[in-house]
Structure 1
Amino acid sequence: MKDALFGGVNAAALTAMKPDFSPDLDRFAGHCKWLLANGCNGLGILGTTGEANSFGFDERKEILEGILARGVPASVLMPGTGCASLTDTVELTKHAKAQGCRGVLVLPPFYYKGPSDDGLFAWFSEVVNRVGGGIAIYLYHFPQQSAVPFSLDLIGRLLKAFPGVIKGVKDSSGDYANMKAMIDHFAKDGFEVYSGSDEFVQRILADGGAGCITAASNVNARFGQVVYQKRTGAEADAAQAVLNATRKAATAVPLIPGLREIIARATGHDGWRTIRPPHLPLSAEQGQKAWEAMQAAGALPLPGLGMKAAAE
Structure 2
Amino acid sequence: MTDNTDQIRGYWVAVPTPLVADGSVDHASLARHVLGLFAQGVDGAVVFGTTGEGTSFSAVERIAAVEALLKAGAAASRIGLGGGFPALTDTIALTRAALGVGLRHVLMLPPYFYRDVTPDGIEDAFAAILDGVADDRLRATLYNIPQVSGVGVPATVAAKLRARYGRIVAGVKDSSADFKQFQAYRAAAPDLAVTVGNEADIARAVAEGGAGTICGMANVACDLVREMLSGPGAEARMKAAVSVVASHPFVPALKAILAVQTGDAGWLRVRAPLRSSSDGAALQAQLDAATRRAAA
TM over 0.5, shorter chain: yes
Q: How big is each residue's C-alpha offset from its partner over 1:145-191, in whole Å with a ceiling of 9 and x where there is no partner?
A: 1111111221222122111111111111110011012112212xx20
Aligned partners of 1:65 and 1:297: how far apart in 2? 39
**Residue 98 of structure 2 is aligned to residue 96 of structure 1:** yes
Residues paired across the two proteins, number: 288
1:36–1:42 Cα contact (<8 Å) kept: yes
Q: Which runs of 4+ in 1 moved over 6 A?
A: none
Query: C-alpha distance in 2, partners of 1:11/1:62?
Result: 20
Provide the C-alpha distance between the structure 1 equivalents of 2:23 and 2:107, rounded to a whole number of angstroms: 24
* 1:167 equivalent in alignment to 2:153: no
CA contact (8 A) 1:39 1:225 kept: no
Describe how 1:7-18 pairs up with structure 2 within 5 A: 7-18=9-20
The residue type equivalent to 2:146 in the other structure is P
Q: Find the partner of 1:176 among 173, 179, 183.
A: 179
* Cα root mean square deviation, aligned: 1.8
**What secondary structure is seen at the aligned counterpart in 1 of 2:166?**
coil
Name the residue aligned to 1:105: 107
After the TM superposition, which residues 193-208 of structure 1 pair with which residues of structure 2 at under 5 Å, given as runs? 193-208=194-209
Identity of aligned residues (%): 32
Does the 8 A contact of 1:40 with 1:222 survive in 2?
A: no
SS at match of 1:78: strand
Residues 1:135 and 1:12: Cα distance change in structure 2 (over 3 Å): same
CA distance in 2, matches of 1:152, 1:278: 32
Q: Distance in 2 between matches of 1:296 and 1:198?
A: 19
C-alpha displacement of 1:298: 4.3
CA contact (8 A) 2:260 2:281 kept: no
Which of 244-253 and 48-57 deviates more? Answer: 244-253
* C-alpha distance after superposition, 1:283-306 (max 9, x if no partner): 4xx33431212222449xxxxxxx
Q: Residue in 2 aligned with 1:287?
A: 280
Larger deviation, residues 50-59 vs 197-206: 50-59
Q: Could you state the TM-score of these two structures normalised by the residue count of structure 1?
A: 0.87
1:52 counterpart letter in structure 2:
G
What is aligned with 1:150? 153
Gaps in structure 2 of 5+ consecutive residues: none
The runs of 5 or more residues in structure 1 that have no matched partner are 300-312
Matched-pair contact (CA < 8 Å) for 1:194–1:209: yes
Correspondence 1:1-312 to 2 at 5 A = 5-132=7-134, 133-187=136-190, 190-228=191-229, 230-231=230-231, 237=233, 239-283=234-278, 286-298=279-291
**C-alpha distance in 2, partners of 1:99/1:271?**
27
What is the Cα deviation at residue 3 of structure 1?
6.5
When the two structures are superposed, what TM-score results if normalisation uses the length of structure 2? 0.92
Q: 1:186 to 1:8 in 2, by over 3 A?
A: same
- The Cα of 1:39 is off from its aligned counterpart by 4.0
